[in-house]
Amino acid sequence: MRTIYSTSRPSFHFILKSLILIGFVLNFFPDLNTDTWDCIATVFFIDTAHNILSYLDTIWRILKPGGYWINFGPLLYHFSDIPGEDSLELSYTELRLAIKRLGFEIVREKSNIQCGYTQNSSSMLSYNYNCVYGLFRKPFITTISPTTETNVTKLMSTLNTTTSTINDME
């Protein structure tokens, strides 16, 4: 039997399999397998991208169908106002629309959450951020084309007719 909790330092392999450090992973392992993770948490992170949509695409791709993405943090956009650095800076309204268009279901969300970041309550200096929280779910079935939908409807109709015929024969 394998020990889950140990007083010894866990191996890198154990940590990598147990946790997904999304910032590290998205930056250094962009070719992660599709539909790999049950849950991804991003905390004070998604605004660190030059193009936030690339992070959304990666999160969508590596998340299993039925998996959850939990996000919390502000939208500061770290590359804004830096000469020579491109930065796609979406408002939360625009980001929310992009998340929905990608296919995520919005399970829960809350905006304008006041949150401190690395602050000391004894210090005269403090930073407060207006954060947004979202719990999103990748559906089990992604959107299907109208042709596929028509074929499924025809198949269901045929199955219903067959079932009715069998019931009439009994």
- For the cut 50, the answer to whether the pLDDT of residue 95 exceeds it is yes
CA distance 145 to 75: 34
CA distance 63 to 159: 33
Q: Which residue has the tokens 């905390």?
A: 43
- For the cut 50, the answer to whether the pLDDT of residue 71 exceeds it is yes
| pLDDT of the residue at 135 | 97
CA distance 51 to 132: 18
- The residue-averaged pLDDT of 109-137 equals 88
Share of the chain above pLDDT 90, in %: 30
CA distance 48 to 75: 9
Length of the chain equals: 170
- For the cut 70, the answer to whether the pLDDT of residue 144 exceeds it is no
Output 9 or 49, whichever has higher pLDDT.
49
- Closest by alpha carbon to 92, among 77, 114, 107? 77
- For the cut 80, the answer to whether the pLDDT of residue 91 exceeds it is yes
Strands (E), the chain: 37-43, 63-73, 105-116, 128-137
Output 158 or 5, whichever has higher pLDDT.
158
Output 127 or 40, whichever has higher pLDDT.
40
Of the pLDDT bands very low, low, confident and very high (cuts 50, 70, 90), residue 1 is very low
Full-model pTM: 0.64
Of the pLDDT bands very low, low, confident and very high (cuts 50, 70, 90), residue 64 is very high
Domain 12-139 class?
alpha beta
Of the pLDDT bands very low, low, confident and very high (cuts 50, 70, 90), residue 126 is confident
Q: What are phi and psi of 20, to 5 degrees?
A: -115, 110
